[in-house]
Amino acid sequence: ADHVLDHRVFQFPEIIEKFKGPLPQAGERLALATSLPSPRTLKTHMPFSLLPPKLLDTCKVIYLARNPRDVVVSYYHHHRMWLTHGFTVMWSPFWSHLGEAWERREHTNLLLLTYEQLKEDLPAVIKKVALFLGKPISEDNMKTLTAHLHIDSMKNNPAVNAVAEAENGLLDLREGGFVRQGKLGGWREYFDDEMSSRFDRWIRDKGQGLDEKFNWT
């Protein structure tokens, strides 16, 4: 094959042997999702343009956005963990993805949140999500959820740390962990003046004014 990924994966013959067939977890997850009663919770990284056209007419959607400066740093560390390709991947079309959500922000079945809101006042966001989903929440449950969703708790939660992928030899968690720091403004530790200027120029050229709407700096 001529695809560069084929040549990268060939460097890891043990991975080729493990994944000649479907992922063992894939069938289990599909069966589980199919068997769950409605309403079900599904997660995706897909933009609206790659989701069912009438999704918002039948489902509630929570869309989470984040400052692209912090996103690109997180993206860098995330992909360095993948032993099959390191960071030799494209920086995805961030603004078109976000723009599709922004265009739908007034739809009653869409809740558009930011990572910054989560970090600044997590209990307030939990209440907003509960109201959006029509789920009353007690003070005791609020305390439990707030503790459960804290970054330190997330770091120790196997369900969100790609444990299966690491056990199957796809990830090197020594690169910083699947859940890393989760803080705001961490990009300032990585960007020098030249990088910051280039990023600002990219935002001006491609950002559709969304950076200002979200007050990201």
Active site (catalytic) residues: 45
- Taking alpha carbons only, the member of 149, 153, 133 closest to residue 141 is 149
User: Distance (Å, rounded) from C-alpha 178 to C-alpha 164?
Assistant: 12
**H or E element, residue 35:** helix 24-35
User: Distance (Å, rounded) from C-alpha 32 to C-alpha 169?
Assistant: 24
User: Distance (Å, rounded) from C-alpha 176 to C-alpha 80?
Assistant: 9
User: Distance (Å, rounded) from C-alpha 87 to C-alpha 138?
Assistant: 43
